[in-house]
Amino acid sequence: MPTVVTTLAGWRELTAQLRGEGASLGVTPTLGALHQGHRSLLARSASERDVALATIFVNPLQFDRPEDLAAYRIDLDDDLAVAADAGVTAVFCPSVAEMWPSWPGPTKTVVAVPSLASRFEGEQRPGHFDGVATVVTKLLCATGPAAAYFGEKDYQQLCIVRQLVADLALPNEVVACPTVREPDGLACSSRNARLSSAGRVAAAALPRALFSAHDELATSGDVTAALRTARDVVADEPSVSLAYAAAVRPDSLEPVASVSAGEPLRLLLAAVVEGVRLIDNVGVVAGPR
Ligand code: AMP
pLDDT, averaged in runs of 10, over the chain (289 residues): 97 98 98 98 98 98 90 92 98 98 96 97 96 98 98 98 98 98 98 97 98 97 97 98 98 95 97 97 95
CA distances from 224 to 140, 186, 243, 251 (A): 40, 24, 17, 21
With a 6 Å cutoff on the Cβ, whether 94 touches ligand 1 is no
> How far is Cα of residue 271 from the mean position of the Cα atoms in its chain?
16
User: Which residues in 73-103 are b (16+ Cβ under 10 Å) and which e?
Assistant: ebeeeebbebbeebbbbbbbbbeeebbbeee
With a 6 Å cutoff on the Cβ, whether 194 touches ligand 1 is no
With a 6 Å cutoff on the Cβ, whether 179 touches ligand 1 is yes
CA 135–ligand 1 middle distance (angstroms): 15
d(CA 251, CA 158): 10
Residue bearing the CA closest to ligand 1, atom 10: 150
pLDDT in the model for residue 36: 98
Ligand 1 atom showing the smallest separation from residue 190 Cα: 3
Q: In the chain, where does DSSP find H-type helix?
A: 8-20, 36-48, 66-71, 76-85, 96-99, 114-117, 121-124, 128-143, 155-167, 197-202, 205-220, 223-235
With a 6 Å cutoff on the Cβ, whether 49 touches ligand 1 is no
Contact 136, 161 (CB under 8 A): yes
CA 260–ligand 1 middle distance (angstroms): 31
Ligand 1 atom showing the smallest separation from residue 152 Cα: 12
Catalytic residues: 38
CA distances from 267 to 6, 29, 233, 248 (A): 38, 25, 15, 6
d(CA 97, CA 55): 16
With a 6 Å cutoff on the Cβ, whether 279 touches ligand 1 is no
With a 6 Å cutoff on the Cβ, whether 177 touches ligand 1 is yes
CA 150–ligand 1 middle distance (angstroms): 7
> How far is Cα of residue 242 from the mean position of the Cα atoms in its chain?
20
CA 60–ligand 1 middle distance (angstroms): 17
pLDDT in the model for residue 67: 86
| Residue partners of 210: CB distance under 8 A and separation at least 6 | 230, 267, 269, 280, 281, 282
With a 6 Å cutoff on the Cβ, whether 159 touches ligand 1 is no
Mutate to test the pocket of ligand 1, among 153, 180, 277, 282 (most ligand atoms within 8 A of CB): 153
